[in-house]
Amino acid sequence: MQQANTFKNYIWLMGRRIRAHRCQALSKRSKLQCKNAALREKHVCRFHGGKSKGPLTIDGKKRCADVKTIHGRETREKRKIRSKKFIEMKLLASLLK
């Protein structure tokens, strides 16, 4: 019988003497929330990547960015250029009136 998945943000430890953040990861097999306490200033426990520092080398960071990039057609730079052009266009349109 599968338990209803009620997600909790905190977990009580040491007989309700310590309240800690609860790990926010889900179990692959049972699809239930992890029952461990999260690491300090993290959302997950050590088993679910809480000890990870993320990519450290330049090569690793580039690999991570490549995986996260979906298409690259919409970037912050392009949005900035587009908003500048839009302001220009509005100014020109106001001059025509």
> Which one among 11, 20, 34, 39 touches Zn ion, defined by CB under 5 A?
34
Is the separation of the CB atoms in 44 and 23 below 8 Å?
yes
Distance CA 92, CA 81 (A): 17
Q: Which residues contact 14 (CB under 8 A, 6 or more apart)?
A: none
User: Binding-site residue total for Zn ion (CB under 5 A)?
Assistant: 6
Which of 10/86 has CB closer to Zn ion? 10
Which of 3/74 has CB closer to Zn ion? 3
- How, if at all, do strands 10-13 and 18-21 pair? antiparallel
> Which one among 36, 39, 42, 49 touches Zn ion, defined by CB under 5 A?
36
Residue 32 binding Zn ion, by CB under 5 A: no
Residues of the shown chain interacting with Zn ion in the complex, contacts defined by CB under 5 A = 23, 25, 34, 36, 45, 48
